[in-house]
Structure 1
Amino acid sequence: MRQLIRLAPLLALAMPAAALAHGGHDHGEPPGWTWDPWITVPLLLSAVLFGLGWRRLYGRSAGGRPRLKRRLWLFAAGWLTLAGALVSPLHEAGERSFTAHMIEHELLMLLAAPLVVLAEPLSAMLWAFPAAARRTLGRISASRAVSVPFAWATGAVVATLLQAAVLWIWHMPSLFDVALASEGWHATQHLCFIVSALLFWTAMLGRRGAGASALGDRALAAFCLLVTSFVTGALGALMAFSDSPWYPGYARLALAPFGMTPAEDQQVAGLVMWVPGGLVHLVAALALFRTLLVPSPQRTADAV
C-alpha cells in the first residue's frame, strides 16, 4: 500500500505523459496521429450515416425533437471520444507506455461505449437509407438469425461474462505482446474491447420501463455492474501491486514517460484500471439501484 501511495502522484502525471510518449525508441519525437483507413473510414462512415439519418428523423419529428437533440449530443460525445482514443497521438503513445495504452482502453470501454449506446445510433442510421433499403434492413434485423443471437449476447449475465473474458484474456502477457508487435492483432484487440463493451452497456442501460420484468432486469444489471467493478478492479489491483513488469514488449523499452520504470508504468496503468474503472461501474450500479428504490412518477401513477 505504501508503494501505491508513492505512485499515486504519477497517476496525475501519466495523463499528459501519454501525449508526450513516443511509439518506438526515439524519445525526442512526439507521437503522431493515426490515419489508418481501417480506423478512419469506419469512423467517418458511422458519422455520415448517423448525421444523415438524424437529420431526416428530425425533419419528420415534432414532439420528439428534444430527445433527438439529446441523442445527437450523446453520439457526438461518444464518437469524439472514440476518435480521440484511436486517432489522436494517444494511440501511438500506447506503444511506448502501458499507462497510455490503458487510458486508451478505458476511454473506449468506459466512456465512448456507454455514450454511443445511450445515443441509440442504429435506429437513426437506418433512416439514412432509402425506404426500400430500410424495409429490407428492418426485416433482416427482426429475423431470428439476427434477433436471437443479439438478445442472447445482450443479456446481462452473458454480456458481463463476455466482457470479463475479453478483458482478462487480452491482458494475458502472451496475447498482449502479440497485439503490441502486430498492427493487425492490435486492431483485433481493440475491436474485441469495443464490441464487448457495446454489448455490455446495451445490456446495462437498455432495461427501461416500469413493469415487474423491466425492474427485475434492472436489478440484475445493477448486480452485474457491481460484479464488473470487482472483476476489473481485481485485474487492475494485480497490476498495481506487481513489482515486476508482465509484458516483455514494454519491459524492453527500459524507461516509460517521466523516467518511470516499466514496473512503475504498469503499476500506474493498474491504478487507472482499478480506480476509475471500478468507480464508473460502481456509480452506474448505484444509479440503477436508485431507480429501483425511488418511485418514479409513472410507477406511482400506475399504483394509484
Structure 2
Amino acid sequence: MFNDAWNQVYCGPAPDPVDLWASWNLDPILLTCLGLLAFVIARKRNGAWAMLALVLAFVSPLCALSSALFSARVVHHILLVAVAAPHIASILPRHRSGSATIAFVVSTVVLWAWHLPMAYDAALSHVGVYWLMQMTLLGSAIWFWREVFAPERSAVEAISLTVGAFAQMGMLGAILTFAPQSLYAAHFMAPYAWGLTPLQDQQLGGLLMWVPAGIPYAVLAVSLARRNWIALRAGNVT
C-alpha cells in the first residue's frame, strides 16, 4: 500500500536495476513539447546542448531512476538548473538587465524549497506537483542566468553570481550529506534494490551537489571570463 502511493510520480514506479535501460519515458505529450522546443532552438547556438540536457532529464532512463534514487534526482535537477537553463537563457532575445540579486534569491529559494521533505515528497507523489517543481526550477534558473548573461553585466559581477549559485547549491548539498537520517519518504525503500540505504543515497546526492555540480558552473565561469577577454581585445570593455 505504501509503495503504491509513491508509484504515482510522473516518471513511473522505481525500476529495478535489470529493468532500467528499458525504462525510457515515451509520453507523447512530453515528446511533442520537446519536439516543438527543438524546432525553435535546436539549430541555434547552445540550443542543442539545452535539448540534450532536457532529453536526458525527462526521456532517458534517468527519469525513471530518479523515482528510485534521490541521487539520480539530484543529477536531474543539475541538468535543469546548471545545463539546460543557462543554455536556454543564452539564446533568448537580449533584454535590459534587471536585478540579478532578486533573480539569485528567487532561484535559490525555489531550489531549497523543493528540497524540503514535505515539498519533495509531494512532487514525487502527484504529477501536477511534479511538473510545478520542474517548471519553477527551470523557469527561475532561466531568469537567473538571463541576468547573469545580460550584456551590461560586468564580468566580475557575472562570475561572482555564478560562483554564488554554485555555493548555495553546495551548501544545500553539504546539509544533505551530513544529515543524521534520511529525509525523504519517497526514497524510503527503493535504494535498497540498488545496494544503498536511503541515507547513503541521500549522502551521495548531497555529494553530487557539493562537488561534481561544480563542473558546469566552472565551465560557465570560464565562458564568461573568455567573453570578457574577447570584448576587451575588441575594445568594447573599458
Equivalent residue letter for 1:90 = L
Aligned to 1:75: 47
Pick the aligned partner of 1:164 from 100, 108, 128.
Answer: 108
Change beyond 3 A, Cα 1:284–1:122: closer
Which of the numbers 158, 182, 192 marks the counterpart of 1:245? 182
Q: 1:113 aligns with which of 71, 85, 93?
A: 85
| Counterpart-to-counterpart distance in 2, 1:175 and 1:253 | 19
Tell me, what secondary structure is at the counterpart of 2:67? coil
TM-score, normalised with respect to structure 1 = 0.65
Aligned to 1:191: 135
1:176 corresponding residue in structure 2: 120
> C-alpha offsets along residues 6-25 of structure 1, whole Å, 9 cap, x if unaligned?
xxxxxxxxxxxxxxxx8337
Whether contact under 8 Å (2:68, 2:190) holds in the other structure is yes
- Distance in 2 separating the partners of 1:293 and 1:251: 49
Q: 1:41 aligns with which of 12, 17, 32?
A: 32
1:99 is the counterpart of 2:95: no
**1:23 matches 2:8:** no
Partner of 2:7: none
The one-letter code matched in structure 1 to 2:39 is V
Q: Using a 3 Å threshold, how does the CA distance of structure 1 residues 75 and 183 change in structure 2: closer, same or farther?
A: same
Equivalent residue letter for 1:75: G
**SS of the residue 2:14 aligns to:** coil
Q: Distance in 2 between matches of 1:292 and 1:173?
A: 41
Q: Tell me the CA shift for residue 293 of structure 1.
A: 7.4
CA 253–49 in structure 1, closer or farther in 2 if over 3 Å, else same: closer
Residues 248-274 of structure 1 show CA distances to partners (whole Å, capped at 9, x for unaligned) of: 1112436152x1101001111111111
Quote how far apart the aligned CAs of 1:242 are: 2.1
CA distance in 2, matches of 1:82, 1:283: 19
- SS in structure 2 at match of 1:23: coil
Q: 2:214 aligns with which of 265, 270, 278?
A: 278
| Residue identity matched to 2:89 | V
**How far apart are residue 159 of structure 1 and its match?**
1.5
- Aligned residue identity for 2:84: A
Report the residue type matching 2:82 in the other structure: L
Q: Percent identity?
A: 28
Q: Compared with structure 1, are the counterparts of its residues 82 and 243 closer, same or farther at alpha carbon in structure 2 (3 Å cutoff)?
A: same
- Aligned partner (choices 208, 216, 220) of residue 157 of structure 2: 220
The alpha-carbon deviation at position 196 of structure 1 amounts to 1.3
Change (3 A) 1:295 1:192: closer
Q: Is the 8 A contact 1:255 1:261 kept in 2?
A: yes
| CA drift at 1:160 | 0.9
Structure 1 window deviating more from structure 2 (276-285 vs 157-166): it is: 276-285
**Structure 2 counterpart of 1:160, which letter?**
F
Q: Are residues 1:90 and 2:82 paired?
A: no
Counterpart of 2:3 in structure 1 is none
**Higher Rg of the two aligned structures:** 1
Q: Using the TM superposition, give the Cα deviation of residue 281 of structure 1 relative to its aligned residue in structure 2, in angstroms.
A: 2.7
3-state SS of paired residue (1:160): helix
Output one character per residue of 1:14-38: Cα deviation in whole Å (capped at 9) or x when no partner. Answer: xxxxxxxx83375653351112344
Q: Which has the higher helix share?
A: 1
CA deviation profile, 1:268-291 (whole Å, cap 9, x unmatched): 111111112234334534554566
Contact 1:23-1:94 within 8 A present in 2 as well: no
Aligned to 2:199: 263
Which TM-score applies when normalising by structure 2?
0.82
| C-alpha distance in structure 2 between counterparts of 1:90 and 1:171, whole Å | 19
Name the CA shift for 1:280/1:254 in 2 (closer, same or farther; >3 Å): closer
After superposition, the Cα gap between the structure-2 partners of 1:86 and 1:284, relative to the gap in structure 1 and judged at 3 Å, is same
